[in-house]
Structure 1
Amino acid sequence: MVKRLLALALALVLLAPAQAFAHATLQESAPQRGSVLRTQPEEVVFRFDEVVEGNFGAVRVFDASGRRVDSGDAFHPDGRATEIAVHLRDGLPDGSYTATYRVVSADAHVVSGGLVFSIGRAGVAGSTVAELLGGQRTGAVTDAAFGVARGLQFAAIAVALGALAFLLLVWERAAAAVAPGAAATRAFARRHRALMLGAALAGLLSAAAAVVLQGAEAAGISAFDALRPSIVRETLGTRFGTVWGIAVAAWLLVALAAALALPDGEAAARRGARAHDPIALAAFAPPLIFLALLPALGGHASVQSPTWLLLPANVVHVVAMSLWAGGLATLLLALPAATRALPERGDRSRLLAAVLARFSPLALGAVIALVASGLVQSVVEVRTVAHLFDTPFGRAVAIKLVLLLGLIALGAVQRRRVLPRLRAVAEAAQPPAAAGVLLRRTLRAELLLIVGALTATAALAAYAPSIAQQSGPFDTTTALGPLQLQVTVDPAAVGANELHVYLLNERDGSQFDGAREVTLSATQTERGIGPLSVPADRAGPGHYVANADLGVPGDWTVRVAVRISDFDEYTTRVEVPIR
């Protein structure tokens, strides 16, 4: 059965189109990169290959001294969502200007870059694109907090969905079969209700935090600065903000349903095994269905081609993980309270065996669905074995795969060793003893591995898929004889790249315009590629532009040679990471 599902999943993947990018890529700009304009433009426009969103500072323009010369907020020209622009102040003097963008693509990831253009005549360029974007980044604490918020959200979804499914599909049927009594029913109901309320609280807080942190990421500011009402409103207007804002309301409904539809311990004890009103439990359906869709709606699956395959695969993956992880959490955090309330130790063995016998096939089905849906997503989004190791997204997938294999092994231990032992001691009316100890150990190990898998899942949500990986512009400054050399490579990704070389006088930082010839070459030593000649064209005083096709990932060595006289030539090498 598992093999057939895996084969089907692989066949579906092979039918998927080869192009599956979900990360916004800059297609065109006005003014164009490196252009020298006779008159000042009214605005700077960036056009992308998909819809982009941005807040007040999404597009910024700086003069050579680093002062901002843009005017007003960023906007979509004529309502075109694939373009974002900003107006310029009137009466700008001749010289060179640097425009940067920091926008949110459809998959909720931040994409940044920029260009240099000149008015009248080229002058000193000032700070490079990479240097200016460096001032728009969030700190490590904010980035870490965003990862924690995602992880808590996914864990809360898993616990809420899985615990409710455990109640209906496992506990009620097991309790009907073995009749554990009022004390055990009361103890389980209390713990289960607390588990659902705790998941709702964690989900609500993490969803609210994620909205604020996404605003910080998009604006390149700290989380505290992102608490401003204007930033929160802007974030809620984005696709990510809308989805996660609705999640806050969904968790409020889950908490309300848990408080009203799940009976407390005394009510459960009075009503017996099937203590829950099916009509009342239907209140959980709308918010939990939305929360099962949340990772897809707020991430890659709903915007990355082929969405017809990735979106349902993601939802199946979330539901399967929830049935497994939430069930394990309930086994560890709620069931022990019920077994301890039983007066006879033989009754404990009977209850444990009955519960595990019903949870085991549910977990097995979840594993099959988890593997099949995970395979579909991994192959589409990673595409090659090499990407498992040379991209952050691929490495997170590889870690999750290793953890999943460990979980499958522990599940096999439960089915083949723990469950038969529990059945044997239950039939003999003996206490769980060694079988119970082994059960607790395997459950704890499984839950620990699931925490690791959820952490990897949070990392996956933060990274761009391997096939859409973009590293952003690479920038470095180094000495070149008596000169200072600045090199910018944009986007520093596999494929076409634009290289900008700036020559500056060491003493005052002004652009050096005395070079007779500038030559570039690129080499990828590990793959034995190059040196490839990269022709450079003069774009302005001390500014040279070259286009290079860097076709493989890894560290490329760019050699820059500048001849300033018949006898003097200065050379240096720059290591450029291409991802």
Structure 2
Amino acid sequence: MMSGMRLASRRRAWLVTRLAVIVLLVAGGLVVDLVSAAAIRPAYAHAYLTESSPVDTQVLDRPPAEVRLRFNEAVSLGRRAIQLLDVTGKNVAIGAPDHADGKANTARAALPAGLAEGTYVVAWRVTSADSHVVSGAFSFSVGRPSSLAVTVDQDADPAVPVIDAVGRALAFLGVALALGGALFVVVLWPAGRADRRGRRIVWSGLAVLTMGTVLVLLVQGPYAEGTSLAGMFDPALLNATLTTRLGQALLARLALILALGTAFWIAVRAKAPAAPPAPPASAAPGSGGIGRRVVVPGLAVAGAAALVLTWTLADHAQTGIQTWLAVPATSLHLLAMALWLGGLITLAACVVLPAGRREPVRAVSLEPVLPRFSLLAQICFAVIAVTGLYLAWRQVGTWGALGGTDFGRLLLGKLAAVLALLALAAGARRFVQRRGRELLDAAPAAALRRLRRSVAGEAVLGVAVVSITAVLVNTAPARASYAPPVHSTVPVPAAAANTAGAPPGLRGGSVEVRIEPARPGRNLVDIYVNGGDGSLVAVPEVSGTLESQDRTVPALPVKVAAAEPGHYVANSMAIPYPGDWVLRLDIRVTDFDETPVRVPFTAR
């Protein structure tokens, strides 16, 4: 008898240990993924520069009066939004950055009138509409270029993005435990209101959600400014954060956490008596407890919906295309994930695993909690699938971006984990259909082991799905980041090929151009002069210029050097910003004759 009790005690301890490992994996997976992403790629291209004045590498006859930057979406400006550095890396005093002409997507700063001749670097750092910090730099010259000895370092203290990532992960985990756990305890499991384990999960979720929200609120100031972690408690930075969309959303989230915590306390504070007392004769039928039965649930539902919106109204769901549909779709996606994952953890902790040592003989009925949760899981998976497909299309756009971007590859990994999770969920549903009315302790031991393994496997795969989702939120969408290399071929003009003294192989030949990665910044250009038979043909010289198709910026020189006979390379062609461009190549076919070849392309 004693040996049987010890064996049962060991089995319960082992199962509880496995549950603890699952919960730690949920938290650890989110934190590790987000921290690693923040450490490797601390800034993501959620907003990007579409135009600048001056443009990158431009040489001006006289000093410009101001620097002007236009972005694809509204941006917030801090004290270090625009900086001017000379060739030695010293800061040059300029005017305070502000929005030009009242346009939220355009920043400017006045420059001093007496800039000396030479090259300058403009370093910028702004917060995009989805709350992520983006930065960059470009150079221009006054009079003539000079050699640069400046290294632009705009990254914040390495601890800042790590703390920001931890805060976001904690908030993400907390909302799942709070919303999913509360729905499970209050609605799906009639006995849950009196169970300490379920209540503790919900209170823990609210506490973790509060902690993560406060961390993000405090760290956003130094993250946006690129300063040290000490800036978390700088009143000026905190005040600047509170004026942004993210800061206001975080404040609203804290208020909603308090409201939802109060609603949950009201829902579970009183245990139902064994036999309800008869209502007073003067009381109308059904009037007792109407606040608890109608008003509190209504407020809780409204609060949960508003809580989810504090994410989706402050991230990239409300930027880009179809924001009117993306915001509700993302909200439903997040809500379905929270209800499923939080409910799954509460199910494992309170129902599927045995009770603790204080309640060694209590039998927990599978009816009605497992059938109810099974139905909830089906609804959540349907919502996640429909909204996920739409959001994937919105963020990816083309098939090539799936394998050609980090976002696309993460999305494929998430899809694989979801398919495996669905297979486990189907097995658990079959268990519910076969044994839904039995007591847990009365079910066969082999069936219980399969159920517990299925629930544990779902939780572990849920960790993978939620972790990938958390990284996706902080990764540049594939639609914006995907830029397939340019590969274009244009024929050599017949007049140039027939010029006296031109290489004979040029007749019927072509010029092949490859541009990688065809994005703003430095690009590699390979130029091949092919003869009519496909062989490379050497010419005396190839020079190039980069022109905007709408002629809004002056032509920018492109340095081209010979790599081998017939193969020419531009190692650092600077594309100032996304848009339609033309690479003009002047191909010298003799010592005195040259012919222009124009290659249009789009930089993304």
TM-score greater than 0.5 by the shorter chain: yes
- Is the Cα–Cα contact under 8 Å of residues 302 and 310 in structure 1 kept in the other structure? yes
Match of 1:30 among 24, 33, 53: 53
Larger Rg: 2
**For the structure 1 residues 271 and 75, does the alpha-carbon distance in structure 2 shift closer, same or farther, using more than 3 Å as the test?**
farther
Structure 2 match to 1:307: 323
User: In 2, are the aligned partners of 1:500 and 1:545 still within 8 Å (CA)?
Assistant: no
1:218–1:185 distance in 2 versus 1, CA, 3 Å: closer
Q: Distance in 1 between matches of 2:220 and 2:404?
A: 26
Aligned position for 1:487: none
Of 199, 207, 221, 1:193 maps to: 199
Alignment correspondent of 1:444: 456
Alpha carbons of structure 1 residues 454 and 167: separation in structure 2 relative to 1, 3 Å: same
Written as runs of structure 1 = structure 2, the 5 A alignment for 1:496-575 is 497=520, 499=522, 521=526, 535-536=544-545, 545-546=557-558, 558-559=570-571
**Counterpart position of 1:510:** none
Q: How far apart are the structure 1 equivalents of 2:296 and 2:129?
A: 37
Q: Deviations over 1:36-66 (max 9, x none)?
A: 4444334211122321112110111001111
Q: Aligned-pair distance for 1:559?
A: 4.6
**Structure 2 CA distance for partners of 1:419 and 1:534, relative to 1, 3 Å:** farther
User: 1:92 maps to what in 2?
Assistant: 115
Give the counterpart letter for 2:162 in structure 1: A
What displacement does 1:69 show? 0.7
SS of the equivalent of 2:149 reads coil
Query: Aligned with 2:156: secondary structure?
Result: coil
Partner deviation per Cα, 1:527-549 (whole Å, 9 max, x = no partner): x9x99x771589xxxxx84399x
Between 441-450 and 26-35, the greater mean CA deviation after superposition: 26-35
Where 1:198 maps in the other structure, the secondary structure is helix
* Residues 422 and 436 in structure 1, CA contact (< 8 A), matched pair in contact too: no
- Percent identity (aligned): 31
Q: Distance in 2 between matches of 1:86 and 1:105?
A: 18
Q: 1:362 aligns with which of 366, 371, 376?
A: 376
Partner of 1:403: 417
Q: Please, what TM-score do these two structures have when normalized by structure 2?
A: 0.68
The correspondence for 1:325, drawn from 333, 341, 345, is: 341
2:174 counterpart of 1:156? yes
User: For residues 268 and 369 of structure 1, what CA distance do their matches in structure 2 show?
Assistant: 34
Matching residue of 1:383:
397
CA RMSD of aligned residues (A): 3.8
Residue deviations 1:254-306 (CA, integer Å, cap 9, x gap): 333334x1334xx3253789996443344434432222223321212122211
What is the CA deviation profile of residues 13-37 of structure 1, one whole-angstrom value per residue up to 9, with x for unaligned ones? xxxxxxxxx9433232223333344
Q: Does the Cα contact within 8 Å between 1:34 and 1:117 map onto a contact in 2? A: yes
Q: Evaluate the alpha carbon distance shift between residue 271 and residue 228 of structure 1 in structure 2; reply closer, same or farther with a 3 A threshold.
A: farther
SS of equivalent to 2:368: helix
Provide closer, same or farther for how the CA distance between residues 36 and 495 of structure 1 changes in structure 2, counting only shifts above 3 A: closer
| 229, 246, 253: which one aligns with 2:259 | 253
* Paired residue secondary structure (2:84): strand
Q: Equivalent residue for 1:517? A: none
Aligned to 1:214: 220
Shift of 1:386: 3.3
Find the counterpart in structure 1 of residue 310 from structure 2. 294
CA distance in 1, matches of 2:559, 2:318: 34
State yes or no: 1:118 paired with 2:148.
no
Paired residues of 2:60 and 2:142 also in contact (CA < 8 A): yes
Amino acid across the alignment from 1:443: V
- 2:268 aligned with 1:263: yes
Q: Distance in 1 between matches of 2:122 and 2:337?
A: 44
Q: Is the 8 A contact 1:147 1:459 kept in 2?
A: no
Distance 1:185 1:380, change over 3 A: closer
Task: State the alpha-carbon separation in 1 of the partners of residues 455 and 241 from structure 2.
Answer: 40
Check the 8 A contact 1:160/1:199 in 2, yes or no. yes
Q: Does 1:202 align with 2:225?
A: no
- Report what 2:385 is aligned to: 371
Which of 227, 242, 246 aligns to 2:248? It is 242
Alpha-carbon shift at residue 72 of structure 1 (Å) = 4.5
Which sections of structure 2, spanning at least 5 residues, go unmatched?
1-44, 277-287, 484-514, 529-533, 548-555, 561-567, 574-590, 592-602
Deviation string for 1:188-240 (max 9, x for gaps)? 2x333222221111111111212333333322233333442222222222222
Between the aligned partners of 1:147 and 1:388, the Cα distance in structure 2 is 25
1:334 pairs with 2:357: no
Distance 1:522 1:558, change over 3 A: farther
Partner of 1:57: 80
* CA deviation string 1:240-265 (max 9, x = no partner): 23222322222233333334x1334x
Distance 1:327-1:53 versus aligned 2 partners, 3 A rule: same
- 1:216 and 1:455 mapped to 2: Cα distance? 25
Query: What is the rounded CA distance, in whole Å, between the counterparts of 1:224 and 1:269 in structure 2?
Result: 50
- Partners in 2 of 1:388 and 1:89 — Cα distance? 47
Amino acid at match of 1:145: I
Question: Does the aligned pair in 1 maintain the 2:435–2:443 contact within 8 Å?
Answer: no
* Offset, 1:370: 1.0
C-alpha displacement of 1:377: 0.7
Q: Is the 8 A contact 2:367 2:437 kept in 1?
A: no
The 3 A distance-change label for structure 1 pair 200 and 402 is same
Task: Kindly indicate whether the alpha-carbon contact (under 8 Å) linking 2:177 and 2:204 is maintained by their aligned counterparts in 1.
Answer: no
Equivalent-residue separation in structure 2 for 1:195 and 1:420 (angstroms): 27
Contact 1:403 1:449 (C-alpha < 8 Å) held by counterparts: yes
Corresponding position of 1:167: 185
| CA distance, structure 1, for counterparts of residue 86 and residue 170 of structure 2 | 43
Distance 1:465 1:254, change over 3 A: same
Does residue 464 of the first structure (1) align with residue 470 of the second (2)? no
1:162–1:324 Cα contact (<8 Å) kept: yes
Asked whether the equivalents of residues 352 and 452 of structure 2 are also in contact (C-alpha less than 8 Å), the reply is: no
